Amino acid sequence: MTHDIQIIGGGLAGSEAAWQLARRGFKVRLSEMRGSGDMTAAHQTDGLAELVCSNSFRSDDSDKNAVGLLHDEMRRLDSIIMRAGEVARVPAGSAMAVDRDVFSAEVQRTLDEHPNVTVVRERVDALPASGPTIVATGPLTAQSLAESIVGATGQDRLAFFDAIAPIVHRDSIDMSKCWIQSRWNKRTEASNEDGDYINCPMTKEQYLAFHQGLMDGEKTEFREWEADTPYFDGCMPIEVMAARGVETLRYGPMKGVGLDNPYDTTEEHPQGRWPYAVVQLRQDNKLGTLWNMVGFQTKLKYGAQIKLFRTIPGLENAEFARLGGLHRNTFINSPLVLDRQLRLRGAEHIRFAGQITGCEGYVESSAVGLMAGMMAAAELNGAQWTAPPRTTAFGALLSHITGDAEADTFQPMNVNFGLFPPLHDVKKKQRKEAYTSRAKAEMGEWIASLDAVPA
């Protein structure tokens, strides 16, 4: 099949861009390196849209949360990622989490079955000299293509480290020491009977010993060229957080507030007292056989991980389906090298999408891929692209990465209300709802203004 456009990279952004173009009638060549004999340091399969870090798309609350609002906007634009996410959804409280394998398989099936999409397993080593192209190779872009990008942009690559959380087999968890509960008892309709998280409580003594173990554990060594690479706060390794202070984890991923330990009851707290600290595990697949350790991204070496994590109450005999890991992420200085339509300055036939643009997170990456697909479709139709309002999650994210951020200090960013035009005449407690209400109204108007309203 001859193609109208080539997309390089079959991750979330590339898959989303391919879907948006294909459903508008354009023929897409989707080039994916995995499956051609090459593999990245973090991926384990050759499936499209494989999730390599967490299995969570974070909050699904579109009324009070910026990423939940982004979910809503993507659904309104017929996102393949949100479609597949619903098929693969697993309990996660007010968050949206998915079974990784089901999710990837659903994206793969949908694109394979579309007559306008051809998935080609091939490694692309250089930016095409001509022809409409979307580069969505993500934070693990192959070295040869990355060097081609550096040559085209004239700018050095920017990079940060991203750490992966371990996954535990459910039947190896000692539930006589743990319990299932969502914080503050908040649950979704798909929740387990008592909640969405397995909670492993720690006393003060256990927590302090665990903290010391994190500090002392053998860790992955940096290469010389990696030594000054910063971490992104959203995927901060737990031992890096621990190094910031002995109490840091208790106010982060190991906080015990809102969790009633049924093994520690008193007359005053008949439902159970809050633990001094807690390790939470979240369901990772639909069968409920795999659970990931929430917030436990780590660069500890494998032996150190097993030894330390088995000191956690309830995990003494834990069997790990996957241990934590560390990989280097690459992204471009988008405010400097891309225009407002994600096109490479000086080579406008090339667009960038996804995490390589400096957005951070599965949903944000997918949203930028969605917009890149819509932009390319408009251009192929000879139409003028009109960006979504900056008051929407789409518009705020796009504006940030294509010019509103400071190029000199540009770092990966999740969508958040700090990227939205401020509301000064609304009380602080009501601002989140006001941001989302305004965004939903203006997103609706923008969608209605499009030449082709999504089905």
What are 297's two structure tokens?
A: 């991204």
The answer to the question of whether 361 is labelled as a binding residue is: no
- CB < 8 Å & 24+ apart, contacts of 214-219: 214/238, 214/239, 214/242, 214/300, 214/308, 215/239, 215/242, 215/243, 217/300, 217/301, 217/304, 217/305, 217/307, 217/308, 218/300, 218/301, 218/303, 218/304, 219/299, 219/300, 219/301, 219/304
The answer to the question of whether 195 is labelled as a binding residue is: no
Tally the residues of the chain.
Answer: 455
Rg (Cα) of the chain, in Å, rounded?
Answer: 22
The answer to the question of whether 378 is labelled as a binding residue is: no
Spatial contact of 387 and 395, defined as CB atoms under 8 Å apart:
yes
CA distance 99 to 283: 8
The answer to the question of whether 127 is labelled as a binding residue is: no
CB-CB neighbours of 190 under 10 Å: 15
Spatial contact of 93 and 186, defined as CB atoms under 8 Å apart:
yes
The answer to the question of whether 11 is labelled as a binding residue is: yes
CB-CB neighbours of 449 under 10 Å: 10
The answer to the question of whether 252 is labelled as a binding residue is: no
Per the annotation, binding residues for FAD are 9-14
Per the annotation, binding residues are 9-14
